[in-house]
Amino acid sequence: MAIEILIVDDNADIRNILNELIIDAGYKTRLAANYNQALKEIDKKIPDVAILDVKLDKGDNDGIELLSHIKSKNKDVPVIIITGHANVEMAVNSLKHGAFEFIEKPFDQNRLLNFIKRAVENLNLKSQNKEYENRLFSSYELIGNSKNIIAIRDQIEKISITESRVLINGPSGSGKELIARKIHKKSKRNNKPFIILNGALLDADKYELELFGEEKSDGSISYGALEKANEGTLLIDQVSEIPLGIQSKILRVLTDQKFKRLNGNNDINVNVRLICSSSKDLKEEILIGNFREDLYHRLNVFEINIKSLNERISDIPLLIQYFSKKISENYNIKELNIDNDDSYILNHNWQGNVRELRNLIERIAILQPDSKEKVSNIVKESLKNSDINNKINENDLSIPLKEAREKFEKEYLTIQLKKFNGNISKTANFVGMERSALHRKLKGLGIKEFN
């Protein structure tokens, strides 16, 4: 498939020069002459590579705004910024927002082509890494001893032997896809396809094509996700992002178990087990009119809720141990030695959840530190914004010592309780208190005990 490059510049001569140069180099192009045209092209279809002029018709930083818009849709798209009004601040700002390269006008054509070549190589490398990660992902286990994970493993065992539709709720990176894969792997459909359709990554006008496929004028057929998953399992990830018009068509497929391809006349019968996942609360989406209530009830035959990593701190040491072993095997290096009780790790606000933790372990593996001290330094550098010492801000310094101490004790004991799954005896032993004294302390601080 040919690489497609979006060229955005308000100067027609430069736009045409870039267009001819890039086509001669073997790439496809799309052109935009102003901010609104560019926005329309980006929303219509994310380009493989983008070349953006900084200053268009809307303002002095149009290109930076478009760069941010592209990155919000797909952070892996390489974006080359060009400008005739360059300065150091502008260059730094564009790179800070994720630009792949920054080049001044008038530009050297060979230099620009070299940037494009490296951008395409970077794109291909990321694509290969994703393919490798998908293969690796299939072998991952659902690791943890928190009550949430134990309950989910039990749910997977029970639901896998049925044909019920499943809705998996949880924050980004928490393990929703892994749960779906486990359900498929343990089901009677395990030797049939497992297909993923990501609702958040599709263009609005591409949903039908991706779902139902197309019968082309030359007689060829483009198969959609439903046909690809026939007899197997289809995971619709981020189902909350599917437009309402497509939701009604999905509902019809669930009712009739058949559909027509785009430009097709014949019904296509399918037998697909549907699993959906969402990072948003679909009940709230129903209330604000973004999701059909009838579809929600069709999808939510069986519901699985996975909590954020911050709510299951006791799983972190096990995940560190698991990923250290797994990633060390994949890189064929000595197993990593990471302190499971590292306060920087346990106190980190894991917004990216398990995926963020795995990325940290992989970063350590790539750098191959040869001592525990160096491992600790990498962890601290990576998570420095969550260093417990950095939690002391101006508000903390403006309160009396007694209040500051109570605040710290409450945060500290809450974390330790989560770490030990609410087990008072283990928590008391770790913090060096008598069990009865810990009970009194928790009550005094207003910390609710949990089982």
* Cα 30 to Cα 395: distance, rounded to the nearest angstrom: 51
Q: What is the mean pLDDT of residues 314-332?
A: 85
| In CATH, 147-307 is 3.40.640.10 | no
Q: Strand, helix or coil at 194?
A: strand
* Cα 94 to Cα 64: distance, rounded to the nearest angstrom: 6
Q: What is the mean pLDDT of residues 80-108?
A: 81
Q: Cα–Cα distances in Å, from 185 out to 116, 164, 176, 178?
A: 41, 15, 14, 10
> What digits encode the pLDDT tens for the residues 272-318?
999 999 999 999 999 999 999 999 999 999 999 999 998 998 899 89
Joined tokens for residue 450: 């949990």
pTM of this prediction exceeds 0.75: no
**pLDDT at residue 132 in the model:** 55
**pLDDT at residue 68 in the model:** 86
Distance of CA 404 to the CA centre of its chain: 36
* Cα 5 to Cα 185: distance, rounded to the nearest angstrom: 39
For residue 451, pLDDT beyond 60: no
* Cα 25 to Cα 21: distance, rounded to the nearest angstrom: 6
For residue 344, pLDDT beyond 80: no
pLDDT band at 129 (very low <50, low <70, confident <90, very high): low
395/210: higher pLDDT: 210
> What digits encode the pLDDT tens for the residues 249-273?
999 999 888 999 999 888 999 899 9
| In CATH, 310-389 is 1.10.8.60 | yes
pLDDT band at 22 (very low <50, low <70, confident <90, very high): very high
Q: Max alpha carbon distance in the chain (Å)?
A: 80
Q: Which residues pair with 50 in a beta bridge?
A: 6, 79
Helix (H), strand (E), coil (C) string for 211-246: HHCEECCCCCEECCHHHHCCCCEEEEECHHHCCHHH
Joined tokens for residue 113: 């082509």
Mean pLDDT score of the chain, rounded to an integer? Answer: 84
**Angle value at C-alpha 154, between 300 and 430, nearest 5 degrees:** 120
* For the chain, domain boundaries: 4-130, 147-307, 310-389, 392-445
Neighbouring CB atoms inside 10 A of 147's CB total: 15
Which CATH fold topology does 4-130 show? Answer: Rossmann fold (3.40.50)
> What digits encode the pLDDT tens for the residues 141-180?
899 999 999 999 999 999 999 999 999 999 999 999 999 9
Neighbouring CB atoms inside 10 A of 8's CB total: 29
As assigned by CATH, the class of the 392-445 domain is mainly alpha
E runs forming strands in 208-364: 214-215, 221-222, 233-237, 258-260, 267-269, 273-278, 302-305
419/396: higher pLDDT: 419
CB 243 within 8 A of CB 200: no
Distance of CA 390 to the CA centre of its chain: 27
Q: What is the mean pLDDT of residues 15-37?
A: 92
> What digits encode the pLDDT tens for the residues 371-395?
777 777 777 777 764 444 344 444 4
Do 392-445 and 310-389 have the same topology in CATH? no
Burial grade of 11 (CB within 10 A; 0-12, 13-18, 19 or more): middle
